[in-house]
Chain A
Amino acid sequence: MKRYLPVMFISPALSLLFVFIFLPILFTIFLSFVNWNMIEPNIKFVGLKNYINLITEKHFWVAAYNSLLYAIIAIVLDLILPYITAYAITRVKSSWHSLFKILIFLPTTLSLAVGSIIFLWLYNPVLGPFSYFLKEIGYKTPIGFLTDYHLVIYSLSIIVGWKLFGYNVIILLSSLLNVPVDQINSAKIDGATPWQIFIHIIIPQTSPTILYAFFMTIVLNIQYIFVPIQILTNGGPDYASTNLVYLIYQYGFNFFRIGMSAACSIVTLIIFIIFMILLFKFIDKKVYYES
């Protein structure tokens, strides 16, 4: 009986994951090798044709590149900036903390769909407040936040960054508050400047959290960025804002080319697995452990 104890603990969650995530992945693998719209009775087996079509499409590579770009921007917006913000909170009187915590987290409580629609108005090149503000400081031509090839990725990243910001600030703030005060105090007595304290004590002490936040930011960003892409730009203009997840959706739900969508899904998952393995190996080496 004792041998089966761990199995009993993990089986509820695991069976859910198996049925609703692993089985669909297996089904998707199957779909990627056929040409089938899931309706007609004959299923045409096409081997690797879907994969080859996928890799030879220019916009697959654009989507892959964009996914990387989104991730890098997310690191700045959702890791570096929140870290600085959390640090800033620790540097002000703690009576302000509660208020800051509530206000910063507010965007996180909204749904991303609502957030996207709000930004649709804010980004209006003729009516929106951003354009208004830019015109006031001298920019005459209207800025196409959602139609400019180079700007659109940043415009969409800001929406997701805006939503995730508060969540990451909270996580990093907790970690910062956990740094042993005596270490800081003894460093101060030794004459260390705030900058030195920051680099040599605070960052290492919070590094586990930083890496956790790094991991979650990348993962959540990949999923979340899908919503503004779908609502605001449909991957456009001309694939400038698409990413791998949107491509999966586009092939399956816009073009109804299910085989291609499945192939894209599998390739995307493989890329994620590689990333995950690299990340965990990296974590093991760089993190400062208490014990």
Chain B
Amino acid sequence: MKVKINIWHLFLSTLIIILILPVLWMILSSIKQEADFYTVKLFPSIHSLTFSNYTTVAEKIPLARYLLNTLFVAISITIAKLITSLLAAYGFARFNFKYRDFIFMMCIFTIFVPIQITMIPNYLLIAKIHWLNTFPGIIVPQLADAMGIFLLRQTIKSVPASIFDSALVDGANHIQILLKVLLPIIKPAFIALGALFFINAWNEYYWPFLIISDKSMYTMPLALQLFTSQEGGTQWGIMMATATITALPTIIIYAFFQKYIISGFIKSNIKG
């Protein structure tokens, strides 16, 4: 029995080292001096490590502003997507109406649609209603995401119908059922979805790149572009420092919610 455990341990440890290596490289690079990138040595000496990349980033860009922008956008998107997804999932799971399954399939279909197809038409629309460079312009188009509907519908379907029925018999209306009966049961899955929404919204690049030209409205992924230039060469150390700063909130959010994320998927009992 002991031998078996060792094999799995070895396998996992190797795997994890391979997975973590790039992340470690990023963090190591962010405290390297620029010239140290261009040596063949894999690890620079301890003495030449420096935090100057971080101070440069803080000097050159309004870091607090960008972090707040990104936070505001990510939280707004997360909350709005959670609400609309939950309502829609409840509608699909608990009601029977004409064309229900067909409409649901159409929603699932939208998950396949790559952003490259919808980018330009949405840009033209946003420009027409004068929402360019505004928070609504950044946020609203990103709310169109059926992934949450898919996941939450599964979750709701795994809750025994009897729970809902007895609540209805007791005279509750649907909103009360949603908030007071359903939500406590599916809380882990709900939080798990929210964490995932947040991480994706935080890292989103293509849509903000198109919509935002006002530097004061930049989100962190756009700020990354401020230190790269194909013509003049890139400052890798500063770029990695920006990348590390960008990654920190998502890592913290995940570490904080990881208990929920696991049990969230257990509870949702993902079926086909």
- Bound pair: A and B? yes
Q: Footprint of B on A, CB under 8 Å?
A: 5-10, 12-14, 16-17, 19-25, 27-28, 38, 85, 88-89, 91-93, 98, 100-115, 117-119, 121-122, 127, 129, 132, 162, 165-166, 170-171, 173-175, 177-178, 208-209, 211-212, 219, 222-223, 226, 245, 248-249, 252-253, 265, 268-269, 272-273, 276, 280, 283-284, 287, 289-290
Are A109's CB and B251's CB within 8 A?
A: yes
Q: Please report the C-alpha to C-alpha distance between residue A58 and residue B149 in the assembled complex, in whole angstroms.
A: 39
Q: What is the CA–CA distance of A103 and B15 in the complex, to the nearest angstrom?
A: 10
Decide: A276 near B112, CB < 8 A? Known: A9-B88, A121-B25. Answer: yes
Q: Contacts of A129 on B, CB cut-off 8 Å?
A: 42
Complex partner residue of A175 from B8, B95, B254, B270, CB under 8 angstroms: B270
- Which residues from chain B contact A162 at a C-beta distance below 8 Å? 19, 22
Known: A24-B121, A171-B265, A173-B262. A108 touches B20 (CB 8 A): no
| Min distance, Cβ A277 to any Cβ of chain B, angstroms | 9
Question: Are A287 and B272 CB-contacts (below 8 A) given A14-B88, A162-B22?
Answer: yes
Whether the Cβ atoms of B114 and A222 lie closer than 8 Å is yes
Alpha-carbon distance between A151 and B11 when the two chains are bound, in angstroms: 25
Interchain CA distance A100-B270 in the complex, whole Å: 22
Contact with A along B68-111 (1 / 0, CB 8 A): 00000000000000011101101110010100100101011111
- List A contacts of B115 (CB < 8 A): 223
User: Number of residue pairs across A and B with beta carbons under 8 Å?
Assistant: 229
Of the residues A38, A89, A100, A272, contact of B112 by C-beta under 8 Å: A272
Write out, one digit per residue, whether chain B residues 114-150 have a CB within 8 A of any chain A CB (1) or not (0): 1111101110110000000000000011011010010
Which residues does chain A contribute within 8 Å of B40, judged by CB atoms? 127, 132
* Docked pose: A25 CA to B115 CA in angstroms: 11
Interface pair A9/B243, CB less than 8 Å apart: no
B266 CB within 8 Å of chain A: yes
CA distance A225 to B250 in the complex (A): 21
Residues of A within 8 A of B263 (CB): 174
In the complex the two chains form, what is the Cα distance from A10 to B110 in whole Å? 15
In order of increasing CB-CB distance, the 6 nearest A-B pairs are A9-B91, A174-B265, A24-B121, A111-B203, A13-B88, A6-B95
Question: CA separation between A106 and B15, bound complex, in Å?
Answer: 13
**A19-B144, A114-B224, A226-B116 known; A91 and B4 CB under 8 Å?**
yes
Q: How far is the CB of A22 from chain B (nearest CB, A)?
A: 8
Query: Shortest CB–CB separation between residue B127 and chain A, in angstroms?
Result: 12
Q: Which of A165, A175, A209 contacts B19 (CB 8 A)?
A: A165
B269 CB–A CB distance under 8 Å: yes
Task: Chain A residues near B269: list those with CB within 8 A.
Answer: 178, 208, 290
B-chain residues with CB within 8 Å of residue A22 when the two chains form the complex: 110
Report how far A253 CA is from B149 CA in the complex, Å: 31
Pairwise interchain contact B265-A10, C-beta atoms closer than 8 A: no
For this complex, into which size category does the number of interface residues on chain B fall?
35 or more
Partner of A101, one of B29, B83, B117, B262: B262
| Among B12, B115, B236, residue most surrounded by chain A Cβ atoms (within 10 Å) | B12
CB pair B91–A174 under 8 Å, yes or no, is no
Q: Pick the contact of B144 from A20, A265, A284 — CB < 8 Å?
A: A20
| Cα distance, A100 to B262, chains bound together (Å) | 12
Report yes or no: B109 in contact with A276, Cβ–Cβ below 8 A: yes
Which B residues contact A (CB, under 8 angstroms)? 4-5, 8-9, 11-12, 15-16, 19-20, 22-23, 25-26, 29, 37-38, 40, 42, 83-85, 87-88, 90-92, 95, 97, 100, 103, 105, 107-118, 120-122, 124-125, 140-141, 143-144, 146, 149, 154, 174, 199, 203, 205, 221, 224, 236, 239, 243, 246-247, 250-251, 253-255, 258, 261-266, 269-272
Residues in B neighbouring A21, C-beta threshold 8 A: 110, 113, 118, 144
Measured in the bound complex, the distance between the Cα atoms of B9 and A233 in whole Å is 37
Q: How far is the CA of A129 from the CA of B12 in the complex (A)?
A: 22
B118: chain A residues at CB < 8 Å are 20-21, 24-25
B266 CB, min distance to chain A CBs, angstroms: 4
Nearest Cβ distance between residue B54 and chain A, in whole angstroms? 16
- The answer for the CA separation of A4 and B258 in the assembled complex, in Å, is 38
Partner of B12, one of A27, A89, A118, A252: A89
In the bound complex, what is the Cα–Cα distance between A219 and B42 (angstroms)?
A: 36
A38, A106, A173, A219, most chain B CB atoms within 10 A: A106
* Contact assessment for B88 and A10 in the assembled complex, using a CB-CB cutoff below 8 Å: yes
Please name all residues of chain B whose beta carbon is closer than 8 Å to the beta carbon of A212 when the two chains form the complex: 154, 270-272
- A178 to chain B minimum Cβ distance, whole angstroms, is 5
In whole angstroms, what is the CA distance A22 to B122 when docked? 11
B261 close to A170 (CB less than 8 A): yes
Show 22 A/B contacts (Cβ-Cβ < 8 Å), sorted by A: A6-B97, A8-B91, A10-B103, A20-B140, A21-B110, A21-B113, A25-B117, A27-B121, A101-B258, A107-B23, A109-B199, A110-B26, A111-B205, A111-B221, A111-B247, A113-B205, A113-B221, A127-B38, A212-B154, A248-B117, A265-B116, A269-B117
